Amino acid sequence: MNAIPDSNIFAATNAVAWPLGGGGTFRHPQASASAVALAFGDPAGVQASFQARYRGFGSGAPSAAVNPDWKALPSSRADPHAEVFDRLIDLKVSTATIAMHLQDAWRTGLFRQLDDLLDEENWHPGDTLPTPDSFRTFLRLVIMLGRPPRPGLGCTDSGNILASWRRTEDRLTIECRLDDELRWVLSRRLLGETESAAGICKVKNLRSRLAPYEPEVWFVAHDKHSRP
């Protein structure tokens, strides 16, 4: 008889792992906070703990890159590029947060681009690698845009992801910053004249900011494989 419920399987993502069964042993390193909140009947605390724990996953990087509970052990490849390799995997793990909303071909193509971006030959010790926070903003941007063709990818010196779309003379580059902030720069040929513009906005406001420039030229897929 399974009379005493034990603790959950340890979630790889830290999504949720409460020791909710009475008498269960705490196997999760973060378990104590929510357990205390439960014991003292603090529903707000429990809800906050629930959110906080899930955010650890929702940020797209449950790994040592952003989660202090996990410590990266030396890579199997004991070389100076180990950090680059680990970051590449971290960003792919982040993609899992939205992978259910992507077509497989789009995800595979994105991974190929990440492989190129984080090609070990292009990075030197001390370089700032693309950050998980910036990549999270990028993923939210991609889903918010609905079905954009896959953009070109780059990275700023500060580790922010750059996404760029180009259609003949029309160009759009977006820097993905922390907390959904975007910095965008565009050049667009309209009614025989070339216009340039730049701005900073949140992901949710990007469409309205770009509306005067008819952004469909960048965001409407031109082939079936580029749709997410």
Partner 1 sequence: MNYPHPPIVEAAIEFRFAGSGNQNDLEAATKKLRSAYPRLEEARPVLVTVQMANAPRASSLSPPPAIRKMTSADGADIVMLQPDSVAAARLAPYRDWEDLEGKFRKNLGAARAIVKKRRLARIGVRFINRIDVAQDELGSFNHRDYLKLGDNLMPLEDAPVLGLMFSVTSLLDRGRFGVIINCGKVDSPLVDHAGLLLDIEVFNQANLPVTDADIWVQVTEIRSWKNRLFEASITDRARAMFQ
Contact set for partner 1, span 51-110 (CB under 8 A): 51, 54-55, 57-58, 60, 63-64, 69-77, 85-86, 89-102, 104, 107
Contacts of residues 40-46 at CB distance under 8 Å and 24 or more positions apart, as own/partner, are none
Report the residue from 83, 109, 120, 144 that binds partner 1 according to the rule CB under 8 A: 144
Question: What number of CA atoms fall less than 13 Å from residue 73's CA on the CB side?
Answer: 1
The count of residues interacting with partner 1 (CB under 8 A) is 72
**Shortest spacing between CB 190 and partner 1, in angstroms:** 27
Question: What number of CA atoms fall less than 13 Å from residue 63's CA on the CB side?
Answer: 20
Choose between 175 and 180: whose C-beta lies nearer to partner 1.
180
Choose between 10 and 195: whose C-beta lies nearer to partner 1.
10
Report the residue from 84, 182, 203, 210 that binds partner 1 according to the rule CB under 8 A: 203
137: tokens are: 């903003």
Question: Nearest 10 degrees: CA dihedral of 81, 174, 104, 91?
Answer: 30
Output the CA angle 221-223-224, nearest 5 degrees. Answer: 95
Which range of residues in 39-47, 169-177, 188-196, 211-219 is near partner 1 by CB under 8 A?
39-47
- Residues 210, 190: contact at Cβ < 8 Å? no
**Shortest spacing between CB 198 and partner 1, in angstroms:** 22
Other residues' Cβ atoms within 10 Å of the Cβ of residue 173: 18
Q: Does 179 bind partner 1 (CB under 8 A)?
A: no
Q: Does 26 bind partner 1 (CB under 8 A)?
A: yes
Output the CA angle 150-156-157, nearest 5 degrees. Answer: 155
Neighbouring-strand partners of residue 187: 171, 196
Choose between 186 and 206: whose C-beta lies nearer to partner 1.
206
Residues 117-136 that bind partner 1 (CB under 8 A): 136
Residues 147-166 that bind partner 1 (CB under 8 A): none
**Shortest spacing between CB 89 and partner 1, in angstroms:** 4
